[in-house]
Amino acid sequence: MSSSPLDLDYLSPGHFLIGQPLLAVPERHIPEDSRKIVNRWKLLHQFHQSFWRRWTSEYLCSLQARTKWTNNVPNLKDGDMVVIKDNQSPPTAWRLGRVLSVMPGADGVVRVARVLTAQGELTRPVVKLVLLPTE
């Protein structure tokens, strides 16, 4: 990982497994029998859907600290790596970005952030951004 705020590289579990980020679930060789192929494809498709559904609802939610009423959570800051949630696309298509600047509300809490992605700059509310652990 670089300390440059313009660098979009990050360290993921995939780097430890295959040396690069995991972009999709790897597919295995399917037996030649056509019934087995269809059944195997359905099973793999169910695993794939189940994995991304759980990853979206469990892992990403665990990254977002929801301690609103018990203690203060640090705001996003410039240079943080984030995943930009998009309800219209699958999790494998969610974009990665680096926070360029933050826009706090009147109470000093960050509500909106300007994010640099590989496709350009975006302005998104912080509820649509998931902070990636970098420590």
CA distances 39 to 35, 79, 81, Å, are: 6, 46, 40
CA distance 116 to 135: 21
pLDDT by 10s per residue, the chain, length 135: 566 766 677 777 777 767 777 776 666 665 566 677 788 888 989 998 898 888 888 877 777 665 555 556 678 889 999 999 998 988 888 899 999 999 998 888 889 999 999 999 999 999 899 888 877
Both tokens of residue 26? Answer: 């790897």
CA distance 75 to 60: 17
- Residues 42-79 as b/e (b if ≥16 CB within 10 A, e otherwise) read eeeeeeeeeeeeeeeeeeeeeeeeeeeeeeeeeebeee
Residues 6+ apart with CB under 8 A from 97: 8, 81, 82, 83, 84, 115, 116, 117, 122, 129
Residues 6+ apart with CB under 8 A from 118: 8, 95, 96
Are the C-beta atoms of 61 and 83 separated by less than 8 Å? no
The pLDDT assigned to 72 comes to: 63
